[in-house]
Amino acid sequence: MYRVKLTDFEGPLDLLLFFIKRDELDIYDIPIAKITMDFLEYLKYLQELDLDIAGEFIVMAATLMQIKVQMLLPKPDVEGGEEPDPRAELVRRLLEYKRYKEMAEEMERMQLAQRKVFFRSNFDHDEKIIEEVGDENLLRNVTLFDLIAAFKFAVDRMPRKHFHEINKLNVSLDDQIKYILGFFSDNVEATFHMLVEQMTEKIRIVVTFIALLELIKQKAIGVRQASPYGEIMIVKLPTEAMA
C-alpha cells in the first residue's frame, strides 16, 4: 500500500474542533460519548488510508475514552464542593489551541492583504509585480478531514456484498492517477462520489483517494468548498499550475 505523509497534517485537536464546528457543539459542554465515537471512526479511516498518523492521535483517543469512563462512573460525594468535570482539561486545551489557530489565520490574512498593497513610488522606473488570485487558493479552508468526509460518504454508499470472494485485484497508484486525469479530460468538475461511483471494490476506492491526495500535492487537481462543511468539488487545474 502506498503511504502518504502530509507536511501540513492536522492534529487531533484540529479533528476535535472540526467536529465541534461541524455539529455546532458547545465547546464548554462537549458530548463526550458522541465526539469519542466520531474520533475513533475518523481514526479508523485515517489508518485504513495508510496515512502517516502521529502517536498523538492514539493518545487523544485514549484520553477521550478515559474521560468517557470517568463520566459514566458514579460520582462520589465530595466535601466542600462538586467534583471537577473530567472534561475541564480537554476544554482548556481546545480553547487555548483555538485561540492560537485563529491568531495564526488572522496573521495569514493580514499578510495576504499586505501583499496587495503597493506604495507610491517612481512609476516610470519601479517594476510592479501584480499577483493574480487563481487556482492555487482552491484548497483554502478545505481540510484533510473534509476530504475524509467525502471518502466516507463514497464508501458508505458502496454496494454491499453478502458473500466473500478472494480475488487478486491489480490496482496501483499510477493506474488511479491516470484514471483521475482521464476522468477530468471529459469533466470540468465532480464530487469524489461521482469519481468512484462505478467502483465496487473498496481497495480501489482507497487507492483512488490516495491518488487524489497525490494529485492535489502536485497541484494537478484542486478542491473547493462553497460553504463550510458543504460538498467538496474536485476540479482539474491548468497544466502550468503543476510547474
Given this model, what pLDDT does residue 26 score?
92
- Quick one: pLDDT at residue 163? 52
Q: Max CA-CA distance within the chain?
A: 80
Which residues of the chain are in CATH 1.10.10.580 domains?
135-161+169-243
Q: How much is the pLDDT for 96?
A: 93
- Pull the grid cell for residue 222: 484542486
234 torsion bin: left (phi>0), alpha (psi -120 to 50), beta (else):
beta
Q: What is the mean pLDDT of each run of 10 residues along the chain (243 residues)?
A: 49 88 90 91 78 76 90 71 84 92 83 69 51 46 73 73 59 89 88 87 86 87 75 78 48
Task: Out of 1.10.3730.10, 1.10.10.580, 1.10.3470.10, 1.10.3720.10, select the CATH number for domain 135-161+169-243.
Answer: 1.10.10.580
Residue 54 confidence (pLDDT): 64
Q: How far is CA 95 from CA 14, 28, 52, 115, 146, in A?
A: 11, 9, 26, 30, 21
Rounded to the nearest 10°, the torsion over CA 152, 158, 163, 164 is: -60
Q: Write down the pLDDT at residue 21.
A: 86
Residue 179 half-sphere exposure, CB side, CA atoms within 13 Å? 19
Specify the pLDDT at position 8.
Answer: 47
Residue 88: its pLDDT value, please? 92
